[in-house]
Every structure is written in C-alpha cells, then in structure tokens.
Structure 1
Amino acid sequence: MNKKLVGLSMIRNESDIIEAFIRHNLTLLDELHIIDHGSTDNTREILQLLKEEGLPIYIYYYNELAFTPVPILNNVMRLLLEKDSLIDYIFPLDADEFIYCPSRIRLESLLDFIPEDRVGMYTWRGYIPNTTEYNPDFLTSFTEQRQENILTPKVIIPRKIAEQHKLTIGSHFMVNEANEEIKSVVFCASQHRHFYTWFIQKFNAEFIETDDLWLGHYPIRSVNQQIKKVLEKSITMAIKFSGGDDVAWENQLKDLLNNNMIISLERLRLIAYQYRADNIEPIQVFHQEALRTERLTFKYLHLVEDSPLPTVARLILELTNKLRK
C-alpha cells in the first residue's frame, strides 16, 4: 500500500453508529480525522475509547452553536495537508456513510484512474431498514439498497485538488475560487448509465464503470434514532433561523406529533426511501446486498444512548446556557 488515504468527518450525536463507522472505514483508510460538533450523547466518550485502543483517529472539538461545516472542513483539510506531506487522498465522510470496496489493494488501483486535475466521485447506495429497533449489526443485516432516482455523489480528493479548491455543503462536489464545479471522474455501476448526462453537464465527467467502489448510506437506522434526529434538528434549526424558510425538520416534527410520536416499520422504511429523493412511493429496491459479510466486533455498545430523550434534554440545557451568554 503506497498511498496515504485519510478520512475527514464532522459529526454530532452519533453514539449508535460511530463505533461501526470508525472500525469499518479504517479497514480501507489509514486515518480518520473527526470533528465533534458539541455532541450531547456519548459520542465523545466512544471516540476517546477508540483512540485509546490505538486506532489512528484524531479528534477535534467544535462547541459553537452555529453549524458551519463547509468552512470548518475546508480549514481542517488545509491544516492536514500542511502538516502531513504524505497524504495522497482525502475522503470526506458523514457518520452514516460507509465505503464499500472489496479490498484496500483494489481501492488503490481504482484511485489510479483519477487524474491530478479532477476530483473523484463515488455515489450513495441508500439502505432501507428492516427493523424499528436499534441493531448494531446493520452493516450485515440491512440488505435492501433503494432504487436511486437521484444519484448523489461524494468526493474523493487527490492532494493537488485539495490544496487548490474547496469543498461544498455535504462534500458532494468541489469548486474553484470562481465557484465553478471541478471536473470529475465518477465511479459508477453500469446500471446507472442513465445518470451520466447530468454528471457530464455539471462536472464534465468521465466514468469508470465498476461495482467495486460505492458508498453505503444509512441515514435511518431505528425509530428512536429518527426521532432523536428530528427533535435535535428542529431545535437547532429553530434557533438558527428564528422560524425561517427551512421547514423540512419542522414538517417532520409535525408528522411525528400527528402520529403520537409513533413510527411503524413501513413508515420508517418509507422515510429512508424518500431521503433526498423525489419519489413518494411505492418503495423500489435496486439491489439486495449487505455492505459487509462479516460482523464487526463492538466494545462500547453499553454507551449507545438509544432513547432520544436524554440527548435532547442535554441539548436544550446546552443551548440555554449558550443563549444566556
């Protein structure tokens, strides 16, 4: 393995998934650099224990109320490049994103197809949950990949591109100083050729057809995790926008209240299916394949905070204290 591959993430309140995220993605990457944005569950404790194991993770803390991931990720990316001349590629990742590739050797061979003047892109395969309860082995037990009607890319950044250009919100693409999209090389399954026109028009894309590199996406994992996400986002968005135009989380909160805070498995699966998509129903499955065949070994499941209430209560106290200042 000649290349140095580094992951970069900004996370918040991911105690149910962070150990799986770290252990899985480190099977393909050399390091993970994690910015924790004021987690109020046990995410920070789990991260620290993983670091104490000797895993190559680096933890940064951002405790401001404002959620400004774009400048923070770009600043940290620049600092990493300045401090470490050996970094070859940076993989921005959210905590619910898991790299799929058969092996590290195969991953490096695919990266060779990315020219220095282009950014790499691989795409989401969104998973649909098969239970309402928390299952730490979701990487092996969730098998249904949704039919993507909007193919969402995530960037893989060669060092030269990272030094000269900027990430955008969600790390879905990069732009230059004139805010123009950087050309891309897209790793994409042949079944998704009907999306090529959009990539060509937006990113002047070239394509590597492969099923060996994609990004498993698990935004919805259990009922309690979904309720926690909706409550947390609703609180922070209400403070940030003071009742502004972003009403997505407000609408989800209203839906929860209308259903007495109950989410059936059918409804949970539909929420996962509709995540950043324009299809309503019925659910369509693209492929049946778990991301992993072997289970991960977990040490910190006792720190997973399944109930949303303590996390939200601590968040309210934290926000109250900050607003008093």
Structure 2
Amino acid sequence: MKIVSLTMVNNEGEMIESFIRYNYNFFDHMVIIDNGCTDNTIDIIQSLISEGYKIHVFNESLESYNQFRLDNKYIKKILNEIVPDIIIPLDADEFLSGIDNPRSLLENLSLDRIYYITWRWYVLSDKDDVTEAFIPKRLLYSLDKPPYNQIDGSEVTKVIIPAKYFSEMKLTLSAGHHTVFGKSNPKIEKIKQLFIAHYRIISDTHLTSKLMCYVMRGIVSMELTTKQTSHRTNQLAIIERGGSLLETAIDVSYSGYPKNVIYNPLNLSFCEPESIKLKYSISSEDSLIQSVLHTGQEMAIRTYNLERKHKEKPYLKPIILWLDGFTESDIFVPNPSNRSILLTSMYNVRGYVTEINELKFLKVNYRLLITPEWLKFLPYKYIVVPNGVEVNDVKTKLEPYIINKEIIISEREYLQKIGPFLMIWSLILFIPSLLCTGLSYTKKNGIKKTINSIRNRLSVKQDK
C-alpha cells in the first residue's frame, strides 16, 4: 500500500524536522508545498531529502495563503503522478498516531469510504522541557477530550482520503482538512483508532514569531478574511501592551477550550529510536530573528513586484538576468556590462540574480538584485544568461534553488523562444524606453554629467 502525506509550509523551522522524522515512520512519500518560507524550513527539508527521505517540494511562494485552493490542486497532482492508495493531509504541527502502529491501522482500512478522525490537542504548561527540540517530547499535556465545534458541540474532525474513492466520487477537500464535499454523498466513517496530535504553540517565542509574521502576511493578503486574522491581531495587541508573553502563549495554546488537561505524552514506541533524533534544529530565538527579518524582506519584494509590473511592456513575460560583468571593485557598486543594460531596456527584466551576497537587495538599472534563495519570490519565465557567460556554469550554481534547469537559457536561446514577432515588438519599444531612462537620468544629474557618464561607460566599461 502506498501512503502519501500532503502539507503546506510557511516558516516552520522549529517544527519541520520533528514533523518529518516522526510522520515518515508511517508514510511512503511526503509532498510539501512551500508557500513562501523565508527561514530554514526548506534547508532542513533538503537536508532530509539528502538523507534519503522521499519528499517532493513544490514552490508556491508567489501565491497568497490559500490552503483550500493549493491543497486541492496538489491532491489532483498526487492522484495523477504518484498514484497513492491513501492521502493524508497534515499541517506541519500535526503528528499522526493511534491506539496501535498508525501504519498497520492505515493498511487495514477499507478503501471504499472517507475517514474522519479527531485531534488530540497539546497545550503549553510550566512542566514543558523547553530544552527538548523534538516536539512530542517537549509538550506532554493535552486537553482531556478532543476539540469540538463551539456552535454545535460536535468533535472537530480531520480527513483520511482513500485516493481512488476520492477521485471516483469527484470530491473536494475543505479548508483546514476537516471534511470533504461534492455533488455525490460520500460514505464517511468516523474512527477512533487513529488520531492526530496537534501542537499549535510550542513556546512563547514560537508564538511571537507566528504572530509577527502572520500579521505582516495578513496585511498584504487579499485571501484571508477578518475572521481568519482577527485572533492573531488581537493576540499581538496584548503583547504590544506589555502583557506577559508566556501567559499569552499558554492561553493561546488552549484556543478558548476549557483548561482541563491531562498528562498524555505521545506514544513514540511506533517509531524507530534513531528515526526521531534531530540534527538540524535551531534555537527558537534564532528562528524568531530569521522569520521576522526575512518575512519583512519578503513583503518588500512583493511590493517591488507590484511597482515593477506596472512599468513592464505588454505581451512579454518577465525574465531574470544573471548578473554578468562585475569585478572585485564592483562588489558594493554593481556595474553590469553594457549588453546587460541594453537587455533591461529591450525586455521585461524583473530582476538580476547573483551569488554575491553583498549585492543582495541593491538595484541595477532600477531592477532588484537578489541571491538565488530569493528567486522564488520573483515571477519569471526564464533566467537569461547574457552572451559571453557559460550557461551550464549558471545551471550548476542555481540547481539547488529551482525545479527545472531548462528555464536557464542563453540570450540567443531567449531570442529564439520569443520569436520574430515579439523580437520586433521589443525593438519598437526599445528606443522610447532608452530615451525615457536617459531623460530621467539627465533631469536628476544634468546634461554635462550625463554625457560624461555615457563617455566613461563606452570607453572604460566595454562589454565583458
């Protein structure tokens, strides 16, 4: 039997290694959607892949948070490409468990129905071992009964999906993985032998990171409703007023449920002891700094995209240029080749990519300079390597950061890709674009300096 999990992640650095190492004991394959991670989440996943974990990561960093749409998109992809028997949607703070080994229980399920299971909700307490990095060993207390819906008192459910049945019945997974629905009335069975351990908040620092990053993303997202974001903004307001961070974190971990808890550590006997030893975890303080800093940078790049998009030519897809022609003296003032400058005037160059970290977030020809890890936040059809630079060398350098190396092409290949019509269109718009750039520079610097700049560039900075 082939069992596959599906998870969307966004800055799960403190959770992701525990999540994967634990749950992989029961799955054959894990599919992870990167919805814009800016911390070390993807680095940890790549390290686990190099250890032999069968994980497939898909990049959806340009998408706003829309779990419903992305989950159903990738369920279809999993059904068609991996062809599993069972799909289990999980959040990165959820750990599958049961009264017996979850793998054995899953293999004994009939595949002619959908299954609903419940949460076991873990909470913060003053007895937590905050030095323990493996989450199921850190939080040992849970609510005394499964979480329930406030409206009707029914238990909150999570879904186990027999793949063929889901496809044949043409079902859709609800937001949050709580139910399925469709035109047909599927056969649904609630079972008790399996459950999901849920670790919503694992420390006060974890809460701070989640709140600050979530609120920033909530501001720019047009997908999230007031109902989805209000509890986060309210919690952040408590902290900003000087309320106790730990008390707020403990309170948030209960999510409004009665504070009736029991000592209830997760059964780890179903896991091979070596399989749950962590190697890549970082401190919560480091995770907080990374998450907040990088989320702010991500938001700035998203704003840049909006501004740059309005200045681009119609009918041409944006591209990224590999930064060429720099020397040691250019490190802090990047100075690309003349050819590279002409390309930005002719085509829709969204930005430059470079390996030089000191150049990150500078501008060249009003285009943003990024290092490879930030590529996922710029929309582009191709990464174009200017003539004179070896394309295969660039492919090797960028391979860890992109899914398809074939989108890295030479300037000559790019001209072939766009074809004669768009090439002529680009040339028609080239002169007005160049004139606008020149006039703007002249207005700011004067005619004499403009002439000197052109003369110096042509005489000193020849194409490299």
Q: TM range, normalised to the smaller chain? A: 0.7 to 0.9
Larger RCO, structure (CA 8 Å, separation 6 or more)? 1
CA distance in 1, matches of 2:29, 2:225: 38
Aligned length: 287
Match of 2:175 among 160, 166, 169: 169
List alignment gaps of at least 5 residues for structure 1. 189-209
Match of 1:235 among 201, 216, 233: 216
- Quick one: which amino acid aligns to residue 289 of structure 1? P
Q: CA deviation at 1:143?
A: 1.9
SS in structure 2 at match of 1:127: strand
Change in Cα spacing, 1:23 to 1:127, as seen in structure 2 (3 Å) is: same
CA distance in 2, matches of 1:185, 1:103: 20
Match of 2:189 among 155, 164, 185: 185
Q: CA deviation at 1:62?
A: 1.0
Q: CA deviation at 1:73?
A: 1.4
- 1:302-321 matches, within 5 Å, as 302=282, 306-321=286-301
- Quick one: which amino acid aligns to residue 319 of structure 1? M
1:21–1:95 contact (8 Å) kept in structure 2: yes
Q: CA deviation at 1:324?
A: 2.3
CA distance in 1, matches of 2:292, 2:135: 24
SS in structure 2 at match of 1:111: coil
2:65–2:224 contact (8 Å) kept in structure 1: no
Range with bigger deviation, 298-307 or 142-151: 298-307
SS in structure 1 at match of 2:221: helix
- 1:1-325 matches, within 5 Å, as 3-85=1-83, 87-101=84-98, 102-104=100-102, 106-112=104-110, 115-116=111-112, 118-130=113-125, 131=128, 133=130, 135-147=132-144, 148-150=146-148, 151-163=155-167, 164-176=170-182, 178=183, 182-188=186-192, 210=193, 213-241=194-222, 245-246=226-227, 247-259=230-242, 262-264=244-246, 266-274=247-255, 277=256, 279=257, 281=258, 283-286=259-262, 288-292=264-268, 296-302=276-282, 306-325=286-305
Rg larger for: 2
For residues 258-277 of structure 1, the C-alpha deviation after alignment (integer angstroms, 9 at most, x for no partner) is 225x422x543322112xx4
CA distance in 2, matches of 1:307, 1:30: 29
List alignment gaps of at least 5 residues for structure 2. 149-154, 306-464
For residues 49-104 of structure 1, the C-alpha deviation after alignment (integer angstroms, 9 at most, x for no partner) is 1111111111111111511121211111111111233x100000000000013325
Change in Cα spacing, 1:121 to 1:242, as seen in structure 2 (3 Å) is: closer
User: 1:202 maps to which residue?
Assistant: none
Q: TM (normalized to structure 1)?
A: 0.80
SS in structure 1 at match of 2:226: coil
1:15–1:303 contact (8 Å) kept in structure 2: no
- Quick one: which amino acid aligns to residue 31 of structure 2? H
User: 1:204 maps to which residue?
Assistant: none
For residues 222-259 of structure 1, the C-alpha deviation after alignment (integer angstroms, 9 at most, x for no partner) is 11111111111111112225997342211111011122
Range with bigger deviation, 139-148 or 89-98: 139-148
For residues 121-151 of structure 1, the C-alpha deviation after alignment (integer angstroms, 9 at most, x for no partner) is 1111011123484631331242211133512
CA distance in 2, matches of 1:241, 1:82: 30
SS in structure 1 at match of 2:278: coil
Identity score, percent: 26
